Every structure is written in structure tokens, then in C-alpha cells.
Amino acid sequence: AAVEGPPWVQVRQVCVQKESRRRGIGKLLLGSMLKAVEPHGVTSVRLLVIDLNAGALGWYRSMGFFLLSVSKTMLGKNSDANMIVYLEMKLDTGLEHSKLEGHLQTLVPIFKADVLNEVITIQYPDGSGVFDVRIVGYDGTSHFHSVSSSGLS
């Protein structure tokens, strides 16, 4: 099935060597990519970032990206499995810079206890199904979220 709506770009990675960071190189890479896709009518840029990658998350937010959705997946099997949280982020390329600045000021934090009451979809790796759950708690010691499916189908 074809994707409907305005064209958008998926960013796979933005990488800058550790010793070269904080010099504006990432901003130049992102800016060059935005300039290259502008003639093609691209209205937004999307990416996935792991919630534990605080450096990347902060950088993307500073570049104007905002949270679009939260998804979780399990890596491994049974009791050895680790939950991986992916944040899908989006940058609207059509926003004027002044509007974008105002938009950034209204953003709320998007991780740890700040995602309480968010409804997310979990797909179990054993194939038992896909379930909607609500994030109901966060344990700062273990860094795990607790979820409940009560009231959701």
C-alpha cells in the first residue's frame, strides 16, 4: 500500500566522531540534508532514537525534533529479555523558525516518569500477540516502567 500525504524523509543515523563533537558538524550535516530535500517538497523529517541515548535525544530536540510516538520491543527471550524503548521523533520542515522556537518552548519532557499514562503498543517476541498498555509507573532505581492493560482492548 502506498503511503498517503506529503513526502517525508527517514533519518537512519547522524554520526560524528566523539573527538569532533560539539563543533557544529552534526548541525551542518542535518542542515545539508534538509537543503538537499527541500526541492522535493519534503514536509517533515522523522527518526527513531533509543530512550536511553540522552545525548542524541537532547541534540535532536535542540534541532527542533519533537516526540511523535513511543514504541517498545523486547530484545532476547523470556527472563533474559531486555525492553528497548524507541522514540519516534519528527521535525516539521515547513515551520518558520520563529514558530519553531515557540513550539520548542511548549514541549514536555518525554522519558522516565514523564510518560506516565501514555498508551503504547507492545509486541511480544514469542509471537503471543500485540497489546495496548498504559504506562502506570516508573521505578527510578531499576529504570523500568510498569504497565497495565486494564481498560484497554
Burial class for 64, CB neighbours closer than 10 Å (0-12, 13-18, 19+): buried
CATH number of the domain where residue 38 is located: 3.40.630.30
In a domain, 131, yes or no: no
- Which range marks the domain in which residue 86 is found? 8-110
Q: What is the pLDDT of residue 110?
A: 43
Contacts of 66 (CB under 8 A, 6+ apart): 89, 90, 91, 103, 104, 107
In a domain, 42, yes or no: yes
In a domain, 58, yes or no: yes
In a domain, 150, yes or no: no
What mean pLDDT comes out for the span 120-142? 71
pLDDT tens by residue, 134-146? 777 776 666 667 7
In a domain, 119, yes or no: no
DSSP at 147: E
In a domain, 142, yes or no: no
The CA distances from residue 34 to 47, 82, 91, 99, in Å, are 14, 35, 10, 18
The pTM of this model reads 0.56
What is the chain's mean pLDDT, rounded?
74
DSSP string, 103-117: HHHT----SGGGGTT
- Under the banding of pLDDT at 50, 70 and 90, the label for residue 102 is very low
What are 116's three cell numbers? 506516565
The total of structural domains in the chain comes to: 1
In a domain, 136, yes or no: no
pLDDT tens by residue, 60-87? 888 888 888 888 877 767 665 677 778 7
